Amino acid sequence: MKTFKNPILPGFYPDPSICRVEEDYYLVTSSFTNYPGVPIFHSKDLVNWKQIGHVLDRPSQLPLDGQRQSQGIFAPTIRYHDGVFYMITTNVGHGGNFFVTATDPAGPWSDPYYLNAPGIDPSLFFDDDGKVYYHGTRPAPEGEKYSGNWEVWLQELDLETNQLIGEPVGLWRGALRDVIWPEGPHIYKVDGMYYLLISEAGTGHHHACSIARSEQIKGPYVGNPGNPILTHRHLGKEYPIVNVGHSDLVQTQNGEWWAVALASRIYGGYYRNLGRETYLLPVTWEDGWPIFSPGSGKLEMEYKIPNLPQGEIVVEDVCDHFDDKELNMKWNLLRTPKEESYSLTEREGFVSLYLRPEAITKLEHPSILLRKQQHIQFTTSTSMEFCPEINHEEAGIVLLQSNEFHYRFVVTKADNEAMITLIKCENGQESILQQAPVQSDKIYLKIVAFGQDLSFYYGESQANYQLLSDQIDGRILSTDVAGGFVGAQIGLYASSNGEKSDNKAYFDWFEYSSI
């Protein structure tokens, strides 16, 4: 029996949504304040996924100015109807709920159509009669009697005007009485019945998926007596997969049903550095209700593969040599760029980062290239050429959870001497953990992570690494310490920290791999 291993998208790929077009599958996830936004993936077999672009790849689509790392783009939904792809989502800090369209999922996608819709987590349903319905989550109309007293609601969408029409209707508030945060709704029509799949109880340890059904699109919806249909909250905080929820269903061309969902892997205690990742699980139907992960009811790390022809197996390069004219799609910037912060053409085979005044400690667009941490044990390294000219300048590698929680492993200048410096930023407070002088403008930097233990190495050659500091605690890079919704990312970074500078840092290559 051939099997696959979860997660299908490791690392910070939360809130997955999926759709099928004939024999092709497309998936999107949240991106928060990463730019470009909403990565989109393609697969033939639901297991092997290849990124084909970003839905939001222009400043006109993605204003993120001043937003915190856990703001920005929440919970996208992707749907396909009559030759057109639709992606609908929320920009929580600018404009609210909107959708964009494309005829090619790789892009280009349209500029946003903003909707006068309160709340977050929008989705679309295309009914058999040609009507289209927006559904999302919003505060309950009687007011928030308690934090998270919200409801799932629905309103018709006119695709001629791209505006909501008719009266909004409250649909459901979740399976439990006084449940918090009923969210992430998706409506499906199966055998003439409307099914409303939601998440509830927040996106932390008590996260769960529940489902209700109705004979009419506007309800009344009756909950499944077996709710919740997916959760790990009853398994305790030592179970290795936690906060399971936020799911979307898809039926294959061969009649099988599958679901994508988010979950987190913990390590070093109840700490989630990897953020919320994307998982795949089988679904069957009994007595008119879906059964998630039949036989166990848990999200498993391994399942039998779907009954589909094997798709392309994507093997990511361990090393990026920056030889292409454009960045690999795994790289992201932070917030919307207003000016150039890097170049791939200034020096052939290098990426140049400009030392600009913007810094990662502020809610700005700094000179940074980010990729996601995807493994519990990993090593990452780079070759950098950089000579700090003034004391404020720095360049190197960062391990980033947010502007207030991160490590910077950088070359700086102190007392007219270049220094390799390890800086810890915890709750916005910076401290220098270790420093050592460096003699060459060319330096190799390496970070090794064994679980939550981080070690930092530097050297003038790859054959001569020296340990700067070890047994550094990685837990500040978890959401359980830092708060918010994002996972840890690894970046190349340069800044003049508020001062004007024409200096640059040149990176020859960047490596990342599991251990």
Residue 442 CA to residue 306 CA, distance in Å, equals 49
Paired tokens of 16? 């997955």
Element (H, E) at 186: strand 183-190
When pLDDT is cut at 50, 70 and 90, the band that residue 1 belongs to is: confident
The sign of the torsion formed by the CA atoms of 425, 207, 42, 272 equals: positive
State the chain's mean pLDDT as an integer: 97
pLDDT at residue 93, as a whole number: 92
Per-residue pLDDT reduced to its tens digit, 159-206: 999 999 999 999 999 999 999 999 999 999 999 999 999 999 999 999
Contacts of 429 (CB under 8 A, 6+ apart): none
Q: Backbone phi, then psi, for 479, in 5-degree steps?
A: -65, -25
Paired tokens of 235? 């398994």
Paired tokens of 384? 């950098």
* Cβ-contact 70, 32 below 8 angstroms: yes
Residues annotated as part of the active site: 15, 183
Per-residue pLDDT reduced to its tens digit, 154-165: 999 999 999 999
Length of the chain: 515
Report which of 294, 233, 295 is spatially closest to residue 264, judged by C-alpha positions.
Answer: 233
Give me the DSSP letters along 269-282: SS--TT--EEEEEE
Per-residue pLDDT reduced to its tens digit, 113-128: 999 999 999 999 999 9
The DSSP call for residue 203 is S
* Cβ-contact 492, 400 below 8 angstroms: no
90 pLDDT higher than 90 = yes
Average pLDDT over residues 412-427: 94
Average pLDDT over residues 134-155: 94
Element (H, E) at 369: strand 367-372
When pLDDT is cut at 50, 70 and 90, the band that residue 323 belongs to is: very high
What's the whole-model pTM score? 0.97
Per-residue pLDDT reduced to its tens digit, 52-87: 999 999 999 999 999 999 999 999 999 999 999 999
